């Protein structure tokens, strides 16, 4: 029988904390967080942190008590994306930005008959600020001709661009910001520019940066900042004085819209009321909106979801506006969103179309298409009198393909307030009368023979 092997006894006692490092293996990995001892902040470092916090608190209190130049933003809404994480838009991306160019030369020629013969110049932020400066200096010069003379000299020397009466350091800072934005492609936006929404004189400061020279990517970033931090009224002024003139100028020069500017318009619709009042309404009221501009801006309205209340107000406003050919295009797009419109808006759209009862000019195809879209979507919300008016209108304004479709939609619809059961009963009665007439005619024919 084999001899049992003796056990080897360790003379050293077991030490769970590894007191003797020579007898323990070195760790190959770093100790885990819960195995590390807590590290406390040194007393001298904590005192420095407290001093810095007190200094920041004093600066904030001084900033709150500072008058005039900065103001609290009432309605601040955060954008989902970080402004400083902007990677830019590639120049190889489609300049058409996904919209289809549906421009018919014949239809464009017909629309020109409704355009204004005296196109006015688009008012920009620079025009507004220069007008304010001239008014202020004219009032000062009326009391002091010497000051007026000095102002004229400064006006001629300073690059023919008058400067608002602000602190020289502020003017220098924002001129530098404007130079940076004119070359901006990607990266961070200067912090000084992000403070503009909190300024009372934000229009004057924005004018110093020369928005007409910003790059398309810089305009996109600026719209993101202002749409998030401005209220509806201030955002409307930015859209009307800065964004709209830039978009129209780009379309006029290149016959298309830069991809970054197209995305800027989509971002501007973040404030629907400001978008309609600052871009759509001024564009239609100018009566110089071309079909190309309508197709590009209309594609954004078509793609982006808009609250029903804002769409209803926009339809009401467009219906009462002096007619321009492209107005029908925007009306058609809003109608095809199929919102439940108030009766007041439906009646306003009927009144809009009835204005063309005695029109002698040939109406463009888009006008007939917008009438068809209206009848298709809201035929059951029309009164019997309104349907009779539209039938009378169709006798004066005809299109060989669209007019029969409108008549068919009107004939197969119920009146406002009627239920679907009433329509079925009415159809049954009419069918019964037609059948009785056929039987009567057949009996008369047999009796005659």
Does residue 177 share a domain with residue 295? yes
Does residue 226 share a domain with residue 332? no
Residue 368, domain extent: 319-414
Distance CA 231, CA 241 (A): 16
Residue 45 falls inside a structural domain:
no
Backbone angles phi, psi at 94, to 5 degrees: -60, 130
Does residue 329 share a domain with residue 212? no
Residue 148 falls inside a structural domain:
no
Q: What is the pLDDT of residue 33?
A: 47
Residue 420 falls inside a structural domain:
no
CB 236 within 8 A of CB 105: no
| Long-range Cβ contact pairs of 353-361 (< 8 A, separation 24 or more) | 353/390, 353/393, 354/389, 354/390, 354/393, 355/323, 356/323, 356/393, 356/397, 357/392, 357/393, 357/396, 357/397, 358/396, 359/396, 359/397, 361/113, 361/114
216 CB burial (10 A radius; 0-12, 13-18, 19+)? buried
Q: What is the pLDDT of residues 98-113, one digit of tens each?
A: 455 555 666 666 656 6
Cβ neighbour number for residue 225 with a 10 Å cutoff:
17
Q: Which among 391, 335, 398 is positioned nearest to 363, based on CA atoms?
A: 398
Mean pLDDT score, 144-167: 51
Q: What is the pLDDT of residues 284-320, one digit of tens each?
A: 998 888 889 999 999 999 999 999 999 999 999 999 9
* DSSP 8-state symbol, 91: T
Helix 291-303 × helix 244-254 angle, to 10°:
120
Does residue 268 share a domain with residue 245? yes
Does residue 326 share a domain with residue 298? no
274, 304, 334 - which closes a domain: 304
Distance CA 35, CA 27 (A): 13
Task: Compute the Cα dihedral for 31, 33, 38, 40 and give only its sign.
Answer: positive
Does residue 190 share a domain with residue 295? yes
Helix (H, G, I), strand (E, B) or coil at 199: strand
Does residue 261 share a domain with residue 194? yes
Mean pLDDT score, 406-428: 75
Per-residue confidence band for 351, with pLDDT thresholds at 50, 70 and 90: very high
Does residue 343 share a domain with residue 215? no
Residue 118 falls inside a structural domain:
no
Mean pLDDT score, 228-256: 92
Does residue 379 share a domain with residue 298? no
Q: What is the pLDDT of residues 33-62, one digit of tens each?
A: 444 444 444 556 666 666 766 676 666 555
Does residue 211 share a domain with residue 293? yes
Does residue 403 share a domain with residue 352? yes
Residue 136 falls inside a structural domain:
no
280, 304, 328 - which closes a domain: 304
15 Cβ partners below 8 Å, 6+ apart?
none
- Kindly compute the dihedral angle of the four CA atoms of residues 215, 221, 223, 226, in this order, to the nearest 10 degrees: -130
Site of tokens 């590390």:
36
Residue 367 falls inside a structural domain:
yes
30 CB burial (10 A radius; 0-12, 13-18, 19+)? exposed
Per-residue confidence band for 126, with pLDDT thresholds at 50, 70 and 90: low
Residue 244 falls inside a structural domain:
yes
Mean pLDDT score, 143-159: 45
Q: What is the pLDDT of residue 416?
A: 87
More confident site: 429 or 206: 206
pLDDT of residue 260 exceeding 60, the answer is yes
Number of domains in the chain: 2
Structure tokens at 296: 């590009």
Residue 141 falls inside a structural domain:
no
């Amino acid at each position: 029988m084999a001899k049992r092997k003796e056990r080897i006894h360790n003379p050293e006692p077991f030490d769970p904390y590894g007191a003797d490092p020579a007898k323990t293996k070195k760790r190959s990995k770093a100790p885990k967080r819960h195995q590390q001892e807590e590290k406390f902040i040194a007393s001298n470092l904590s005192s420095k942190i407290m001093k810095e916090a007190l200094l920041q608190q004093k600066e904030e209190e001084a900033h709150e008590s500072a008058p005039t130049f900065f103001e609290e933003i009432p309605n601040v809404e955060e954008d989902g994306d970080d402004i400083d994480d902007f990677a830019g838009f590639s120049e190889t991306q489609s300049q058409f930005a996904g919209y289809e160019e549906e421009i018919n030369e014949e239809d464009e020629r017909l629309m020109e008959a409704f355009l204004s013969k005296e196109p006015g110049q688009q008012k920009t932020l620079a025009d507004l600020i220069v007008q304010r400066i001239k008014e202020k200096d004219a009032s000062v010069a009326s009391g002091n001709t010497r000051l007026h003379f000095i102002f004229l000299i400064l006006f001629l020397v300073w690059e023919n661009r008058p400067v608002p009466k602000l602190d020289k350091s502020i003017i220098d800072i924002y001129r530098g910001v404007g130079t940076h934005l004119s070359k901006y492609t990607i990266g961070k936006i200067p912090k000084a520019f992000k403070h503009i929404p909190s300024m009372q004189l934000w229009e004057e400061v924005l004018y110093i940066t020369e928005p007409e020279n910003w790059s398309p990517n810089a305009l996109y970033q600026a719209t993101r900042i202002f749409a998030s931090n401005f209220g509806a009224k201030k955002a409307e002024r930015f859209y009307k004085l800065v964004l709209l003139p830039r978009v129209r100028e780009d379309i006029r020069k290149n016959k298309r819209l830069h991809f970054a500017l197209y995305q800027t318009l989509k971002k501007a619709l973040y404030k629907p009321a400001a978008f309609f009042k600052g871009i759509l309404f001024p564009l239609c009221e100018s009566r110089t909106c071309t079909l190309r501009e309508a197709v590009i801006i209309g594609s954004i309205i078509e793609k982006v979801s808009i609250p029903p209340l804002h769409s209803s107000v926009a339809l009401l406003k467009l219906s009462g506006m002096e007619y321009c050919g492209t107005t029908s295009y925007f009306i058609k797009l809003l109608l095809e969103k199929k919102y439940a419109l108030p009766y007041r808006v439906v009646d306003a759209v009927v009144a809009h179309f009835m204005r063309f009862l005695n029109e002698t000019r040939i109406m463009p195809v888009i006008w007939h298409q917008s009438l068809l879209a209206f009848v298709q979507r809201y035929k059951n919300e029309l009164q019997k009198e309104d349907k009779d008016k539209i039938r009378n209108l169709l006798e004066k304004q005809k299109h060989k393909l669209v007019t029969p479709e409108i008549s068919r939609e009107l004939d197969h619809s119920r009146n406002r307030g009627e239920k679907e059961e009433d329509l079925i009963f009415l159809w049954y009665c009419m069918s019964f009368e037609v059948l009785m007439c056929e039987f009567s005619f057949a009996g008369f024919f047999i009796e005659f023979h």
